[in-house]
Structure 1
Amino acid sequence: MEGREAQISSSGSKRGGWITFPFIIGATAGFTLGGVGWISNLIVYLIQVFNVKNINAAQIYNISNGCTNLFPVIGAIVADSFFGTFSVAAVSACISLLGIALLTLTSALDSLKPQPCDNGSSLCTPPSKLQYAILYTSLALACIGSGGTRFTIATMGANQFNNPKAQGIFFNWFFFTFYIGSVVSGTAIVYIQGNVSWKWGFGLCAIANFIGLAFLLLGNRFYFHDKPQGSPFTGIVRVIVATIQKWKVQHSSRIEDYYYGHDGITEIAPTAPPKKSFRFLNRAALKTDGDVGSDGLIAKPWKICTVQQVEDLKTLFRIFPLWSSSIFLGTPIGVQASLTVIQALTMDRHLGPHFQIPAGSILVISLISTATFLTIIDRFLSPMWKRLTRRSPTPLQQIGLGHVLNILSMATSALVESKRLKIARAHHLQGQPGAIVPMLALWLIPQLVLVGIGEAFHFPGQVALYYQEFPTSLKSTSTAMIALIIGISFYMSTVLIDLVQRITGWLPNNINNGRLDNMYWLLVVGGVVNFGYYLVCASLYKYQNVEKGEESNSGTNN
């Protein structure tokens, strides 16, 4: 058996290893089908069932996506600090099951939703306060639960192995399962919601979530449970607090005046002086009277830190500008995702005389594009680049290419929308709510393919950058930074849509009367400015660990 041969628990039983694989992958499949299934078609559900206006529905969708992608970070911190990954994943799965079940009830019971609105009518009954309260409660529970399981179960699966090769195999299967589950949810379940009934579509999501929870619980007897080690963020906060308390303390040039830690027997001897960058933080490791006891242990933990803890915080400061540029990279993607669904609702979605593509399924094109190009990049483009340059593409190069493709995607969106508006005006459809423009929704595919290819470059590049460059104490949190970026980006997209709607006439409820193409051109301009910001940050950034890995690899190849 590869990986963790078998960990011996306190009770003497063997745990961990490949025997846990089918349970964790089964749980992943169930949670993905359930979590992606209810959110993929949320905009359409809000518009058609709850009589929510188009742009408001897009904002609710963005907020829900933001919550789903923010809670993995919170879940990771809670798991590392207090309860462990299994407990957090199991409780989160129960919360999401409750939320999806409540959402199913809103579609099944007439008392929990407003009266149906005739297509094209402007006199629609809005939801009551009680109906809104139950809807928002169901969405909040579903978001918290889905977010709590998404990355926590990935970490839990990797914890079952201590062999890097086995961990790599597990992650490949985990992401493969996630993408396949997302595609199935975005097609089959969305089709059932739109063509059979909403209650059956949401009901299947609840059933899938329940099956995932069952898989997770059935494998408990085989799992290796890592004990919570405490939050690494505590050390970061301590550095900040200690720096503030010692703000007036003079710096010292003597290496022995700084605290390097304790190995359990004696105080660790100094190895190198604190680095001069962000020099003001060095005060946190400067020893003053009463900070360290006679035994070499810290006497005042909120007044002194180790030099390593100070350097860890400096590393975060150095990488923060690059991380912030990724937020403004993700914001246009969030705007495009929500507005593309609204565009699809106004276009001809027929494939043949009898089949119509559900509007919520159009975003699956992006998932398929990302999954396809991940394989192409791994098998063809990266080896070709390495043969030409004798070096693997760096994370910063991958992220930069993702920026360019994202800008091209927004420009394509603007051109397609300009054509759609031109056709709508030619057929005098501006004043007709719910009117279908005689233009195939397949025109939306190029922009989704481009954004999917961009994600295939910049998301893996960001994972590699954060995992390799983050401090060792934050390795478990580094990969969850992607979820944090996505979450913040969706919130930013909500703010941006609201701002544009307030100060311009580009985004009315009937987009045939607006200028959605201008919104996309605004994203192009923002993307170009952000790309310039990224280039400045990337040119100033000096790798801490990536270059070392490149040098060792090149040395091995020689």
Structure 2
Amino acid sequence: MADEENVYHESDNKVQDILGLGVEADFVDWRGRPCYANKGGGVKAAAFILVAQSFDGMALIAVQNNLITYLYSDMHFSVAKSANAVTSFVGTAYLLSLAGGFTTDSFLTRFKTMSIFSGVELMGYVLLTAQAYFPSLKPPKCSINSSSSMDCQEARGVQIGVMLLALYLIALGSGFMKSNLLAHGADQFDQRIPHQKKLMFNFFNWAYFGICLGSVVALTFLVWVQDNVGRFWGFGISAAAMFIAFLTLVSGNTLYRNKIPKGSPLTRILQVLVAAFRNRKNQFTPQENKTTCLQLSTQLGFLSKAAFKHEEDGDSHPWRSCSVEQVEETRRFLRILPIFGTTIVMNCATAQLQTFSVQQGSTMLKTFGKRFELPPASVGAVPLVVLLFLVPLYNLYFVPFARRFTGHPAGVPTLHRTGLGLIFSAASMAVAAVVESKRRSNLTQLSIMYLVPQFFLSSLAEFFTKVGLVEFFYSESPPEMRSMSVALNAASVALGYFMSSLLVSLTNYATRSRKNIGQSVVQSGGWLSYNDLNKDHLNWFYWLLSGISVVNFFGYVFCALSYNNSSSIATFPQVKGDQNSDGVLLQQEEEGGENVIKLDGVSIKSN
């Protein structure tokens, strides 16, 4: 491994010497100085971000997973009101990631944004812990399941205000963290250098390992603490985990490479769309550009009109004529949106599995031996423990092996990896349908371990699809829009949660039936309307989800084939003495499984 590292760095230094990659103008260090190649960033800086992400995820998942129980048992909300509150909280947290991505791409560096909003998230956990501790901030205790439950007083006034403030401070902070942690970690690797680009893809895999590790702790230890020791201690540990995440993040400040924000990406996109519309009747004459080798691509050809040059304007107005670079940035961002859209169904299936599997587990045999009992909410931790072993094996052994055949830095190309995850998602729904059919027809209680296979397949789906999407969004989006593009992954989760609620309502509406009894018409509920799994047809609903997932997969294949992922081409300024040329074209290709960089006819093998 040491010899391989030396080969990589010797190759990287050759590339830097020939191309003059000493300074990277778009990145600065903690003092605001330009970053140099192989200076700052790297694995050490990324390690701080991985640890911060693990503790941040642990805190959020612990609260999210047990929130419905807290609202029902402690705040005395109804089951329906509790479920809606949880859905709104989770959906808002993920949707706010888009706002976080927009903020960092436009105004603040990722580190400054995360430093501010990790503090906001910490305030939310502290406030939630305080509510669990002080009796005046929650309604009086009562047994909500007893015959006297009518006397239970629901939280109101200041109590609800404190709860909502705490939850949405957490949602705000978490949303801004989600869109920036992975992007900031990837920023620590210089993509101009082949070896560091491979390390960037490895970082995404290790990031998922950190998510799994935090989730296992949250779904086992922290769930047990909240249920058996008390909400105060459970929420308090989440607050402590968030504090550790904050400290870890700021401790790496002096090592980080920080991407300089370039202004509002949405404004740049709107300028292209408006200019293309205003120039729709003009004969296209692209602006000449002396500093780039970019050429307008043919996809979304109507956008090319935005680069129409108005001779009478002199200095072009940004809402009438845009540069070729700006048009291509917009085109690249819009082209990834269909891929984003085809992943929402997978997140919808995951949301349904997490919701109904807990209900399934409550009707199954949960004891092992004489003492050990597995809580239904902790079943999802079992496949995550398996993934804790599989992810390192995948990263250390499978990726280098696959890289020999595909030549791709990630081993498996990102679009292939995402598609594989969608297949696992459809399979998890089919397995869930079979298990539910067996549970309904079995005369004796099934073991709760029957739920593990569907969770395992769902976890594989998340590993391949979500990591593949982050790799795809980061590497294929314009550098000026990377935070917002990575945030699309979280936005897909949010839309999946909202879609899951809508799908249940539509299914119940479409499957309800009417029967004529005498002179009256009796209307029966749909597949999921009885609040009793032995009367509902959850197995049929899972089959429906599996079918929708299969159709969605073919839609994804169509979008992926249409994407036409071209070879990576970048432009670098060429300097000869004191004279600057128009630029030279650097192209990285794969020849015989090796990375080859071609520069004006000179080939450099990077490994």
TM-score exceeds 0.5? yes
Q: Deviations over 1:460-485 (max 9, x none)?
A: 33233333433344345443332222
Q: Which residue number in structure 2 is paired with residue 404 of structure 1?
A: 423
2:92 counterpart SS class:
helix
Does 2:231 correspond to 1:204? no
2:178 pairs, out of 150, 155, 161, with 150
Q: Which residue number in structure 2 is paired with residue 471 of structure 1?
A: 478
Query: How far apart are the structure 1 equivalents of 2:220 and 2:74?
Result: 20
Looking at secondary structure, tell me which structure has more strand per residue.
2
Residues 78 and 553 of structure 1, relative CA distance in 2, 3 Å threshold: farther
1:104 pairs, out of 129, 134, 139, with 129
Query: How far apart are the structure 1 equivalents of 2:89 and 2:48?
Result: 28
Q: Which residue number in structure 2 is paired with residue 40 of structure 1?
A: 65
Does 2:504 correspond to 1:497? yes
Q: Which residue number in structure 2 is paired with residue 431 of structure 1?
A: none
1:493 positional shift: 1.8
1:413 positional shift: 1.2
1:417 positional shift: 2.0
Query: How far apart are the structure 1 equivalents of 2:130 and 2:319?
Result: 50
Q: Deviations over 1:143-171 (max 9, x none)?
A: 11122223423444454564726656765
Residues 70 and 373 of structure 1, relative CA distance in 2, 3 Å threshold: farther
Query: How far apart are the structure 2 equivalents of 1:327 and 1:372?
Result: 28
Q: Deviations over 1:184-219 (max 9, x none)?
A: 122111111112111111111112212332344455
Report 1:333-352 matches (<5 A): 333-352=350-369
Does 2:154 correspond to 1:127? yes
1:71 pairs, out of 92, 96, 106, with 96
Query: How far apart are the structure 2 equivalents of 1:535 and 1:12?
Result: 41
Structure 2: gaps of 5 or more residues: 13-21, 511-525, 570-586, 597-604
CA contact (8 A) 2:97 2:176 kept: yes
CA contact (8 A) 2:342 2:556 kept: yes
Looking at secondary structure, tell me which structure has more helix per residue.
1
Does 2:564 correspond to 1:542? yes
Query: How far apart are the structure 2 equivalents of 1:518 and 1:500?
Result: 10
Q: How many residues align?
A: 530
Query: How far apart are the structure 2 equivalents of 1:309 and 1:359?
Result: 51
Report 1:21-60 matches (<5 A): 24-54=49-79, 57-60=82-85
1:173 positional shift: 5.2
Report 1:147-546 matches (<5 A): 147-159=175-187, 162=190, 164=196, 174-220=207-253, 225-247=258-280, 249-252=281-284, 257-261=285-289, 263=291, 272=295, 274-293=296-315, 298=316, 300-378=317-395, 393-423=412-442, 438-500=445-507, 504-545=526-567
Q: Name the % identity.
A: 29
CA contact (8 A) 1:55 1:508 kept: no
CA contact (8 A) 1:281 1:310 kept: yes
1:42 positional shift: 2.2
Equivalent residue letter for 1:116:
C
Query: How far apart are the structure 2 equivalents of 1:239 and 1:487?
Result: 28
1:117 pairs, out of 117, 125, 143, with 143
CA contact (8 A) 1:373 1:453 kept: no
Residues 225 and 394 of structure 1, relative CA distance in 2, 3 Å threshold: closer
Equivalent residue letter for 1:135:
M
1:551 counterpart SS class:
strand
Alpha-carbon RMSD across the aligned residues, in angstroms, is: 3.8
Q: Which residue number in structure 1 is paired with residue 17 of structure 2?
A: none
Does 2:593 correspond to 1:554? yes
Query: How far apart are the structure 1 equivalents of 2:153 and 2:226?
Result: 21
CA contact (8 A) 1:239 1:284 kept: yes
Q: Which residue number in structure 2 is paired with residue 432 of structure 1?
A: none
1:439 positional shift: 3.1
1:439 counterpart SS class:
coil
Of the structure 1 ranges 359-368 and 53-62, higher mean CA displacement relative to structure 2 is found in 53-62
Query: How far apart are the structure 2 equivalents of 1:522 and 1:292?
Result: 60
Query: How far apart are the structure 1 equivalents of 2:432 and 2:148?
Result: 28
Report 1:75-86 matches (<5 A): 75-86=100-111
Residues 348 and 220 of structure 1, relative CA distance in 2, 3 Å threshold: same
1:85 positional shift: 1.8
Q: Which residue number in structure 1 is paired with residue 514 of structure 2?
A: none
Q: Deviations over 1:383-424 (max 9, x none)?
A: 66677888854333322222222111111112222233345x
CA contact (8 A) 1:408 1:450 kept: yes
Equivalent residue letter for 1:402:
G
Residues 371 and 479 of structure 1, relative CA distance in 2, 3 Å threshold: farther
Query: How far apart are the structure 1 equivalents of 2:568 and 2:53?
Result: 31
Q: Which residue number in structure 1 is paired with residue 582 of structure 2?
A: none
1:283 positional shift: 1.7
Residues 556 and 149 of structure 1, relative CA distance in 2, 3 Å threshold: closer
Query: How far apart are the structure 1 equivalents of 2:186 and 2:472?
Result: 19
TM-score between both structures, scaled by the size of structure 2: 0.76
Residues 193 and 140 of structure 1, relative CA distance in 2, 3 Å threshold: same
CA contact (8 A) 1:335 1:497 kept: no
Q: Which residue number in structure 1 is paired with residue 523 of structure 2?
A: none
CA contact (8 A) 1:328 1:530 kept: yes
CA contact (8 A) 1:501 1:508 kept: no
Residues 251 and 210 of structure 1, relative CA distance in 2, 3 Å threshold: same
Residues 312 and 155 of structure 1, relative CA distance in 2, 3 Å threshold: closer
Equivalent residue letter for 1:36:
I
Equivalent residue letter for 2:163:
L
Query: How far apart are the structure 2 equivalents of 1:88 and 1:45?
Result: 30
TM-score between both structures, scaled by the size of structure 1: 0.82
1:172 positional shift: 5.7
1:41 counterpart SS class:
helix
Residues 314 and 192 of structure 1, relative CA distance in 2, 3 Å threshold: same
Residues 553 and 33 of structure 1, relative CA distance in 2, 3 Å threshold: farther
Query: How far apart are the structure 2 equivalents of 1:12 and 1:545?
Result: 28
Structure 1: gaps of 5 or more residues: 428-437
